[in-house]
Structure 1
């Protein structure tokens, strides 16, 4: 029986892009010629039986390539196990690859009912007690969907039956997590489960992949850590234990965090909230002491009794873990030269990144920190695009590459926020975070993350480990948010431990 494992926020698995998977596939094929499709089909059938043991009907939408062959193999097994199976084959049988054609012959010989094209009546009468297996397109798909393929995708999505996608939902780019066709979910299979083969692919955990894949499963088909293949493209970022305060410790053991930000603009609208959120986050995450340095001056209206307030110019930056930029506005430009040159460790966020993108001299100062001073930057896709002098769409289409390009440009740890946050750091294989959800799409949650990273750095973690730990924890809190309670940034900060 094939080993099938569930991938979740606690998973620590190597991630391979399309080229890496192809290289692993070639190694496995060399050991067991013509066996991979049989193994993939068997694993698909086993998972189908597990997730829908009482399915009245199982429909297999088989595409014109190897993915279709996987579906045909699965149909053969399910039919032999007594399930009511029907295959809808897209394209000509004569044009199937040799291994997929052999799978078609085996399924036909086993008595699996087959039809070319979509059923005449469509899939309108398929419901919750049925199952549809999407075996239309695999990881090789990179071009926009044809009109015929779009019709298949929409028919499956309009059905009320649960969907199991084979390797990757049709319409999703397995490397980027972006849609292959029009930027609309209606042109990508909305799967309830996705069974991916050999190794997890980055696009399943980034961009739209987080919404379209449902529960993700892995059948390695014999690929193991000892397989002499290419190095992983990335790793999934699991939850890690955060520092525990021992009885014999004191506040000095957990570091001092200074949050510099919070400008008041010319119209009197305060921007102190962002800095206060970052400081509150660092405080609740267990930093020994937290100092709030508002660029608009001290304020008794925003600070709490647990936060100290100091003018940033009076700070001993050489001994502080600094979070800079949250709500800093234009004023942060006057602060950054000193912060970049003197701060012991630094988390640079928000307006600090905007100023950085406009000032090459400040970028040079940041690069100089690489020798002895740790830095983490936390851009969202637009901020990353500004720093890389490109467009947001380019960042989103190549999130791993964008994070690594930023890392190389600025010689620091990069946290590229978004669906499937990327953590990249010099000398490290990037991490893709799998915790978190849409509840975090509210103002201020990025400030909370910046403060949390600062606290973890103050508690002794390296910049990379602090970023990985904080990003996973930040998402974990959102994943376990109480039902019926709105997630706000201030509530999020107070739930940190």
Structure 2
């Protein structure tokens, strides 16, 4: 969960933050960001501690993160809190500001210990652990004694349920990519925080990949620095507050043709359910008319939703407003021919699953996709993205934003790179990181639901990028609503999602884009 203001939707890179720091130093040479960071950390720590009488344990590393940890320790001690700092750096190497707050903490009776004493320290009770080991400047995997410190903290917090608060970014996490910092020879470790207080601006890496599991609740403190101006190209969190498009409202004087004719093409033998899931979702998300084309023998009708048209795929034309191709498609020659026809049509396309795999294996299909004039939305999971970019899944996951943008540029399309903190981006370089969803979505069939949802929203007039934003958020929020009702994450069924999506979409429209039950 993330506690956000409107300005906190903007996501900053490490370079962006460094530029802000440099600008502040040049324009306000007397302004101490370290002091303000220490005060902000201490203020949050006091709220988290409440009436707990046990000491606060702080781990302080090298650099400004360690100096900020010392500043927080001094501030807590000033207000009467008992503070123990495990020092994982030589304070003589600190900046002048860091040395100042180390000395101030010493003068206020903060207890300093070396890292070798952590094991024995963790035999006692603490009210809170503050992670000030490494910040956004970490470029190597945490190793040696520092690795042992991280592992001990994680084990202690897991066993005792003592909350962990990380300063700026959980130590070991890349603030740009959300991946744990690792190398070819070292796996890397990361502090698993319950809360992260991050400074000067929100960080993209806190919201995707490993960041979703390791950052906990994210709180942004601007340290009294004016927020950087927002641009259309600034990466942002994907949530209703960041939507700048009109939701698909309905006039009374309307008919089914106003809301899109959506075709789902797939349903090869043994995979018919994938197409049915996509078709039912398109229906529940408001498509005016839904047709499913099956590669295997088409059923006469969908027994649960007879309003969905069912045809043999080889008898279908490609004259639809939107074609969703891939759910249950298979990789047969017949599937390839259907995909080729769809790519050369004037319909807006949602390309998923085996359609993506076929494209990854055939340069002529890739060329056809690149040269389309109509909208194209690709919905790969990391393995499908790896095939399309001829990379490994590990490479894709090491920098999800970068590879999502690479896919969008390569194929002249809008891309939803699915996963923890799904990445939504387009060929113009716009990028969003999704805020909704939970582990209940990690099951076969949920991607088919997302594809059908994208198709329905495209059919109702949203642009490819806007449809991708809204579909990804609705898909995750539907899962979150099911979770709140006790229907997950274990055993959450993709078949439950279309009903929840319908509720979410109508709720969002009713409240003018402010989803009533949603918390970022």
Query: TM-score scaled to structure 1, two decimals?
Result: 0.91
Structure 2: how far apart are the matches of 1:407 and 1:202?
18
Counterpart check, 1:21 vs 2:17: yes
Contact 1:256 1:320 in 2 (8 A): yes
Structure 2: how far apart are the matches of 1:251 and 1:293?
20
Structure 2: how far apart are the matches of 1:11 and 1:93?
35
Structure 2: how far apart are the matches of 1:97 and 1:122?
30
| Deviation for aligned residue 1:222 | 3.5
Aligned to 1:432: 433
Q: Deviations over 1:457-484 (max 9, x none)?
A: 1111000000000001111111121215
Aligned to 1:358: 361
- The 1:357–1:120 alpha-carbon spacing in structure 2 relative to 1, beyond 3 Å, is closer
| Deviation for aligned residue 1:144 | 1.1
Structure 1 counterpart SS, 2:120: coil
Q: Deviations over 1:364-401 (max 9, x none)?
A: 111111xx300000011111111111111111111111
Aligned to 1:402: 403
Aligned to 2:501: 496
| Deviation for aligned residue 1:145 | 1.0
Give the stretch that moved more between structures: 308-317 or 434-443: 308-317
Contact 2:131 2:171 in 1 (8 A): yes
- The 1:243–1:136 alpha-carbon spacing in structure 2 relative to 1, beyond 3 Å, is same
| Deviation for aligned residue 1:158 | 2.2
- The 1:12–1:201 alpha-carbon spacing in structure 2 relative to 1, beyond 3 Å, is closer
| Deviation for aligned residue 1:302 | 5.3
Structure 1: how far apart are the matches of 2:412 and 2:128?
49
Aligned to 1:393: 394
Contact 2:301 2:310 in 1 (8 A): no
Contact 1:20 1:233 in 2 (8 A): no
| Deviation for aligned residue 1:242 | 4.7
Aligned to 2:340: 337
Structural RMSD (CA): 2.4
Structure 2: how far apart are the matches of 1:391 and 1:141?
24
Aligned to 2:64: 66
Structure 2: how far apart are the matches of 1:208 and 1:186?
12
Structure 2: how far apart are the matches of 1:397 and 1:356?
23
Contact 2:179 2:399 in 1 (8 A): no
Runs of 5+ in structure 1 lacking a partner? 265-269
1:52 to 49, 53, 66: 49
Structure 1: how far apart are the matches of 2:315 and 2:499?
28
Contact 2:263 2:320 in 1 (8 A): no
Structure 2 counterpart SS, 1:260: strand
2:256 to 236, 244, 251: 251
2:199 to 197, 200, 205: 197
Aligned to 2:120: 122
Give the stretch that moved more between structures: 393-402 or 174-183: 174-183
Q: Deviations over 1:191-228 (max 9, x none)?
A: 11011111122211111110111111111223444559
Runs of 5+ in structure 2 lacking a partner? 503-520
Structure 1 counterpart SS, 2:470: helix
Q: Deviations over 1:160-197 (max 9, x none)?
A: 22110001111222222222248999932111101111
- The 1:404–1:245 alpha-carbon spacing in structure 2 relative to 1, beyond 3 Å, is same
| Deviation for aligned residue 1:41 | 0.8
2:217 to 215, 218, 224: 215
Give the stretch that moved more between structures: 28-37 or 205-214: 28-37
Aligned to 2:32: 35
| Deviation for aligned residue 1:299 | 1.3
Structure 1 counterpart SS, 2:376: strand
Counterpart check, 1:105 vs 2:110: no
Structure 1: how far apart are the matches of 2:3 and 2:25?
24
| Deviation for aligned residue 1:325 | 0.8
Structure 1: how far apart are the matches of 2:151 and 2:191?
8
Structure 2 counterpart SS, 1:385: helix
Aligned to 2:289: 289
Structure 2: how far apart are the matches of 1:64 and 1:231?
36
Structure 1 counterpart SS, 2:369: helix
- The 1:318–1:121 alpha-carbon spacing in structure 2 relative to 1, beyond 3 Å, is closer
- The 1:381–1:221 alpha-carbon spacing in structure 2 relative to 1, beyond 3 Å, is same
Q: Deviations over 1:68-104 (max 9, x none)?
A: 1111111111111121212121121212233212221
| Deviation for aligned residue 1:58 | 1.0
Q: Any residues of structure 2 matched to 1:70-89 within 5 Å, and which?
A: 70-89=68-87
Structure 1: how far apart are the matches of 2:438 and 2:110?
41
| Deviation for aligned residue 1:442 | 0.5
Contact 1:171 1:188 in 2 (8 A): yes
Contact 1:153 1:186 in 2 (8 A): no
Structure 1: how far apart are the matches of 2:85 and 2:198?
20
Structure 2 counterpart SS, 1:356: helix
Structure 1: how far apart are the matches of 2:115 and 2:295?
65
